[in-house]
Chain A
């Protein structure tokens, strides 16, 4: 009889707190529709790994090491960066770069909106995080889950779990985080600036050559980004080549869904109470917010600076869409534009800046690795 109830004595209050955190993640996924495809598996995984002596993770029982399935998945899919890279094929196949190709200047907003990454690196270092962890925390500002996982894992950060939770949670919170910062940094007059959309079409050859050339350029400048950029652009090439419709559909739906499913559960392997419930986790969540704030500010301020030099004014709100969170950031800017002027449609410009942010965030990850891991 004792054997049946024996495991209850192994339960700690920290594990119960992790069950509650898992429950909150599941609640946010279902009731608030916040990145449900990732937060739900992560929430369930958080409960799964925090059951005393959980068989889902590797345990040493009576001196015998019993391998858990989540650790097998972690070693096979995250420790070698396989899952985030495969997910990028799906994301690449989903993205239409046409708004960016018709107005390449929008690429600058993608670059400016990566400021939060580097500003957060400074902040995290000042708070006492070692460089590998400071850089891994900073990459939350990429607003891009796979890039965050790739960089944090590449640097062997001790905080992979909290970093991924912060990255995906803030992406879901973009509609709440961005508007007050945009309003704070812009005047009503600036928010009402109209931008002409030419709508000129882009040739098929340009759409096909674009992913190939971006891979070569980004790879030459930041070789550590070549896997990320390459897989993203490969996905886009499948989409645009015109002869692989079936593969493109599979990458967009089946592949992306399967990897997301595995990724969420596997990430939870790093959410054991002993390593998750620390002061550093709270600091990481705070620094993640700082990264998003500085990203948004960087993009908006860059838009204002551009207006000082260019005759054709841009709406500085477009800069906020330069973060990688796609398509939430562009929707936020579009809605804010409509709120100021019901006839001012900024969606195509914002979408262009948003997909530029997708490329720039990957490049930022590569540049960061090149600078610190040399």
Chain B
């Protein structure tokens, strides 16, 4: 993209859509990871309780 020029509305709307999609994809990956980490560490907690 030409950074020195004014971007047309269609381009900036495209960036808006792709940008938010990108953030939500990364976010979903992080949520999955945290959930997995929490699941993997939960047996230890159960062990402690027993």
Contact = CB atoms under 8 A, between A and B. Distances in A.
Interface of A: 100-101, 104-105, 107-108, 110-111, 114-115, 117-119, 121-122, 125-126, 128-132, 134, 155, 201-203, 205-206, 209-210, 213-214, 217-218, 221-222, 359-360, 363-364, 367-368, 370-374
Which secondary structure dominates where chain B touches chain A? helix
Contacts of A371: 15, 18-19, 22
Interface string B6-30: 1111011101101110111111011
**B interface, size bucket:** 20 to 34
Contacts of A359: 30
Contacts, number: 125
B5 A131 contact: yes
Interface of B: 1-9, 11-13, 15-16, 18-20, 22-27, 29-31, 33-35, 37-38, 41, 44-45
A222 B12 contact: no
Contacts of B38: 101, 104, 202, 206
Interface SS of chain A: helix, strand, loop or mixed? Answer: helix
23 contacts: A101-B38, A108-B27, A111-B20, A118-B15, A121-B15, A122-B16, A125-B6, A126-B12, A128-B6, A131-B4, A134-B6, A203-B45, A205-B41, A209-B37, A217-B33, A221-B25, A359-B30, A360-B23, A360-B27, A370-B22, A372-B3, A372-B15, A373-B3
Given A101-B38, A209-B37, A125 B27 contact: no
A221 B16 contact: no
